Amino acid sequence: MAVLTPAEGSHNIDEEWKEGEPFHWERVHPEFTWYETGKVNMTYECVDRHVEQGRGEKKALWYFSEHEEQSWTYLDLQKEVNRWANVLKNHGVGKGDFVFVFLPKHPHCHVAMLAAVKIGAVVGPLFEAFMEEAVRDRIKDCDGEYLITSSEFLDRVPKKELPSLGTIFVTDDHVEGYVSITSEAKKEKEEAMTEWVDLNDGLNIHYTSGSTGKPKGIIHAHRVMIQQYQTGRWVLDLKEDDIYWCTAHPGWVTGTVYGVFAPLLNGVTTVIHGGRFSAEAWYDVIEKAGVSVWYSAPTAYRMLKSAGEDVRRRYDLTSLRHLLSVGEPLNPEVIYWAQEAFGLRVHDTWWMTETGAQLIANLPTRNIKPGSMGRPIPGVEAAVLDEEGQERPRGEVGHLAIRADWPAIMKEVWKNEEKYASYFPHGEEWYIAGDLAIMDEDGYVFFQGRSDDMINASGERIGPFEVESKLLEHEAVAEAGVVGKPDEVRGEIVKAFITLTPTYVANEELLEELRLFVKRRLAAHAAPKEIEVMEELPKTQISGKILRRKLKERDRVGG
């Protein structure tokens, strides 16, 4: 198997940890104020601490949109967070209250979240493109009392259906019937009291959709900072002078953990880009800001790839030094493309809303095996188990499990102990992720699919990811989603949904060529019996993951 060796250059982890050495998370504790005081607050560690330590003039946030650029120092951020925190307090927000934040990617979203956390509230960031129902389900589930939003989003807030909602704050100056947090903040002091809480007190809530039922509220506690800081340091490799950009909105856990908390904990400059994806706009931000560390998702990398070399060559992207990916399997083809396009490897990372921070990753110092998510990070132990909870032999597929003692693990599933318990079917020792994976002799973990995505065709188990990645190697294919389609004879057949790259048109000849392409390069049984060309693949709204479940349903209904 091809192995990509690390590039030259030094990384934070070099001097701090050697491969094979044990690592205990306690080692990180002295980095924080609570190590001495026993009391903690995420906002203090993200913002105030840097000002107190003389980094107040350093740029904390750097915002780009089509019409505007803003830059905020750590001191600016501290003052505004404090003013907003005072306004929230004046309106009765207190420790443990739920404060939902429904705002676009903008510094105000950061300020709102940090202000709520500063006074001990539990913040619930909502994805900017949510429609009425999604907003309602989430706020209703935990009887949310407060919401910070903007006037352009108000028509998606079904106020009448949300009796628990007391105050709605808007980030505009005058809107009848709402509290303008921005104008009230102008009258407030630049200082605010920090609500010192315990490590296990609630910090934020993110709703995740399972395969059934309504989304579940995953609550994290302030202790997540131990791992969020440390993974920022070792996995993202954030250093003093980095300009860092995570493309996710805080409504997705990635945007909260690695777009807001981890970079601020590490004291770097965070880039925020308002607006939608376009290859031109994104490359432009990288060039203008001089982004050095970039964290995005496979879908974004694939879109940049299919936007073509001509577009990319128009921008100076030489500031980039470290690329990362999360959320979906990272196809080897994307890694090879990035090597050509940027001269850099893409470092995959694996984690979940429930896990609170990265657990498996390609550390900057390790070899990368394209197709693998990497290995457990220091302080994390992973295994691949069978249905009974026994370890599977190396090289064989099973349930991905993590020894349940990492600091960022969720605190609870809101009002749903049963759901919480379902992650621990074999007792407290192992957390079962719901992903299927293979671990090789060297401990590298290869993602195979969600447990419910595996395909069983005539008794052969086929992971959709492998077939998708193979299809992607063909230059006609821009994106691919592979599912099992019910079949009377074979149980299931492999069915591929694809989108084409710009110069290709769908015809029988091409589809046959693709079938043969997979058959010759992978295996006959893995070659899609059916291929359907789509304009666009269905994706999760928040994180852009290909929705295999939707593709499956489509097949059942459409035949």
Nearer to ligand 6R9, 104 or 298 (CB): 298
Report the nearest approach of ligand 6R9 to the CB of residue 453 (Å).
9
Nearer to ligand 6R9, 60 or 537 (CB): 537
d(CA 323, CA 467): 25
Closest CA to 520 of 486, 478, 472, 470: 470
Nearer to ligand 6R9, 256 or 269 (CB): 256
Report the nearest approach of ligand 6R9 to the CB of residue 488 (Å).
30
Tally: H helices and E strands in the chain = 19, 26
Burial 241-263 (b: 16+ CB within 10 A, else e): ebbbbbbbbbbbbbbbbbbbbbb
Report the nearest approach of ligand 6R9 to the CB of residue 103 (Å).
20
Report the nearest approach of ligand 6R9 to the CB of residue 450 (Å).
5
Nearer to ligand 6R9, 267 or 298 (CB): 298
Report the nearest approach of ligand 6R9 to the CB of residue 197 (Å).
25
Nearer to ligand 6R9, 127 or 351 (CB): 351
CB atoms within 10 A of CB 428: 9
Burial 296-327 (b: 16+ CB within 10 A, else e): bbbbbbbbbbbbeeeebeebebebbbbbbbbb
Q: Looking at 91-220, list the stretches that DSSP marks H as alpha helix, in order from N- to C-terminal side.
A: 107-118, 132-141, 181-186
Q: Which residue is nearest to ligand 6R9 (CB)?
A: 353
Q: What is the largest CA-CA distance in the chain?
A: 72
Alpha carbon of 154 to those of 151, 175, 508: distances in Å? Answer: 5, 10, 48
Relative to beta strand 98-102, strand 122-125 is: parallel
Nearer to ligand 6R9, 241 or 381 (CB): 381
Angle between helix axes 279-289 and 298-307 (nearest 10 degrees) is 100
Nearer to ligand 6R9, 150 or 349 (CB): 349
- The three-class DSSP label of residue 13 is helix
Q: Binding residues for ligand 6R9, per CB under 6 A?
A: 208, 253-254, 326-329, 348-353, 373, 433-435, 447, 450, 543
Report the nearest approach of ligand 6R9 to the CB of residue 405 (Å).
19
Nearer to ligand 6R9, 56 or 329 (CB): 329
d(CA 366, CA 348): 12
DSSP letters for 463-523:
-HHHHHHHHHTSTTEEEEEEEEEEETTTEEEEEEEEEE-TT----HHHHHHHHHHHHHHT-
Report the nearest approach of ligand 6R9 to the CB of residue 297 (Å).
8
